[in-house]
Structure 1
């Protein structure tokens, strides 16, 4: 299977899906990020602890992680073993075509994993082998110039998604033992995501959740990898971006996501996404 160099940009340039098989002898540095599409992360080798929305997943080869357009995440990659993974990015339109043609909503596992706040799939050895075989076929078809190659890649990818969905709903409860989390931080993350327009200051959150602000600040950074301010800012920007993608006006995206100052919103949005909200909504 063809392996490529790691690209830290996290930007999707193809219309429907992208397939990336990457390998690093030395651990790359990957910052916390999010993106306006679905991602399947298929872990093949390495010493990796993956952080998604306050949960730390201790990965084993063959593990699969699902993330959606609202998830802040980052792999913590330690030296000692080569870091190899397959990452598949999927646009809304790809799932829309599948739903229209087959009547199957293959985003269901992404939606449910976000609701359950648990994004790890651990397929059995037979399924892992089958998923690797499908990835090899996707990779070969994507790189081929023969007639119908893109259609073949899409067909193999659809089969891959079906097996991922089945593995998600068949996953045993035992895999949850490889997740490190903090219940107090989980409660605060839930509150933040449900109340982005409210007062989310450290003082207010600490008082509301009956804990000291110093303890909360330390625990929040430990389990999410971000300061409270950084997390809230990223979440507000993500929601505003998703609103713009759905057709909302720039002003609505600003004030309905908790930004009290329009000029600060413009600066923060451009810093995070590389373009102004108005330019993004026209893209």
Structure 2
């Protein structure tokens, strides 16, 4: 259980969405982390390689990086140049609230997850048009009349136009990541089969790889031990089920925990609350 200390839930979102314009020039160490919300990064400049769930992306200016809620990620930055980007924290509830039948604002994030392509590269014309909206959002002063409404309208415009670009041209999802195919297949299997036996022995047998080589490569590619990764993914999935109204005992079983007390202790250690708090 001590392995839980190696990972971190990063950032808090008390609003429906939030925009940050960040410029880092001083060396700092980023940890592997995840969020309880979606994150959109509009990359401006720097020498950055972004790691997401075992895949590594070399960022190019004006790339859009989509990180789904719960996806484990970390940037590797060469601070010889300034690392500049716009970062949006986005509540999934906000996307659901403003989506309609046939017009799902979560579609670009869902496609990025399903296609395992987290980078969007738009044409110069499309990128300029969308970036104008980003700059307008940045310029909204919180104290001005109708600021909150205007920000919401601008952000919805940005999301609608981004999703339209992705629907009209699926090739905007750039699958240029470097990755170990076996490890990425394993990550996908784990996330799709949380209720099944995901022990080291079971995974080693399924993927025809020695236990020690598998554990070493998994840690190397993801920053997580296999035990830690499986445990956290199970807890986060259970939290989502409980939040949706599923009884905590049922959620723990559906996410692969054989003993509720073990689940409850691990849940509290990772999330800082007991499972029943997710109903609130």
Q: TM-score range by the shorter chain?
A: 0.7 to 0.9
- Structure 1 residue aligned with 2:203: 205
1:20–1:88: 8 Å Cα contact kept in structure 2? yes
Pairs within 5 Å for 1:128-167: 128-141=127-140, 143-167=141-165
- Structure 2 residue aligned with 1:260: 258
Question: How far does residue 182 in structure 1 lie from its aligned partner after superposition?
Answer: 1.5
- Structure 1 residue aligned with 2:220: 222
2:117–2:173: 8 Å Cα contact kept in structure 1? no
Task: Compute the TM-score of the two structures, normalised by the length of structure 2.
Answer: 0.88
For 1:167 and 1:80, how far apart are their aligned partners in 2? 34
> Structure 2: which 5+ residue stretches go unaligned?
1-8
Gap change, CA 1:196 and 1:9, over 3 Å in 2:
closer
- Structure 1 residue aligned with 2:237: 239
Matched, 1:123 2:118: no
1:71-101 Cα distance to aligned partner (Å, 9 max, x none): 222222232111222111222332233225x
1:23-55 Cα distance to aligned partner (Å, 9 max, x none): 211243332222232221111222211111111
Question: How far does residue 171 in structure 1 lie from its aligned partner after superposition?
Answer: 5.3
Matched, 1:72 2:67: no
Further displaced range: 166-175 or 222-231: 166-175
- Structure 2 residue aligned with 1:273: 271
Give the count of matched residue pairs: 271
Question: How far does residue 103 in structure 1 lie from its aligned partner after superposition?
Answer: 6.2
> Structure 1: which 5+ residue stretches go unaligned?
1-7
What is the CA RMSD across the aligned residues, in angstroms? 2.2
1:32–1:72: 8 Å Cα contact kept in structure 2? yes
Further displaced range: 121-130 or 151-160: 121-130
For 1:31 and 1:267, how far apart are their aligned partners in 2? 24
Gap change, CA 1:77 and 1:263, over 3 Å in 2:
farther
Task: Compute the TM-score of the two structures, normalised by the length of structure 1.
Answer: 0.87
